[in-house]
Amino acid sequence: MGKIDLITVILIGANVLISYKGFNDYNFFEKYKLQVDPINKGEQIRLVSSGFLHANMQHLLFNMLSLYFFADVVLMHLGNVKFLIVYFGSLVLGSLLSVYFHKNEYHYSAVGASGAVSGIIYSAILLQPGMKLMFFMIPIPIPAYIFGVGYLLYSIYGMKKQIGNIGHDAHFGGAVGGYLITLLLSPWLFSTNLLMVVLLAIPILVLLVLKKTGKM
């Protein structure tokens, strides 16, 4: 990886600081987490604020490492403004779909940057499908799209097991957001990276079918 971009630093810093505040301040955490009933009553700020809170350090680290790996690719291809459109658009869509999926569960709550990060991951893979990642524990380069698909498989596991307050449904919504927003901002991808456009649509459709058939 090259030099980390300032926008990435700011986003990671905001996530770390706000999450740390939430770890140590129960009232703050409760006030700004995603929760269906308060949102239905007008507290729409939770759709965004919940994306800067995390359930624990492991959850925070996983999301921030994923953002670090993929953010520069999106910034390089789309620029600062469009990057932020993808990030916050994916975050909000992930939150909205979580609320929709759990609209009758008034006490349902979730936190995490999962929606935004899933959107950035999908955007980066669409824009640079040949990119590869190196991990300390695996000595060979891994195609980025494998990581992206694995990220969504983790979402499936999380949704099925309903792990903690983590917004696993937002992984799905964020991936859809990143996928659609990037294609809208870069329609040339249909001609240059059509295979990846189709491949990345498959796990999104699988998640949607599983959700609709009640198997999640």
- DSSP per-residue codes, 185-214: H-TTHHHHSHHHHHHHHHHHHHHHHHHHTT
Cα separation, 216 vs 212, in Å, equals 8
Cα separation, 129 vs 156, in Å, equals 23
pLDDT of res. 206: 75
Is 168's pLDDT higher than 70? no
CB 22 within 8 A of CB 53: yes
Out of 11-25, 67-81, 197-211, which region has the weakest mean confidence (pLDDT)? 197-211
Is 1's pLDDT higher than 50? no
168 Cβ contact list (under 8 Å, min separation 6): 110, 114, 155, 158, 159, 162
Average pLDDT for 64-81: 93
0.75 surpassed by pTM: yes
Is 16's pLDDT higher than 80? yes
Higher pLDDT, 160 or 83: 83
Mean pLDDT, the chain, rounded, equals: 87
Q: Which band of pLDDT confidence, cut at 50, 70 and 90, is reported for residue 163?
A: low
- Residue labelled with tokens 């929606």: 115
Phi, psi of 35 (to 5 degrees): -145, 130
Is 24's pLDDT higher than 90? yes
Cα separation, 150 vs 138, in Å, equals 15
CATH number for the domain running over 6-212: 1.20.1540.10
Higher pLDDT, 154 or 181: 181
pLDDT tens-digit series, residues 178-206 = 999 999 999 999 999 888 888 888 877 87
Nearest to 40 by CA among 128, 108, 94: 108
- Residue labelled with tokens 């195609």: 143
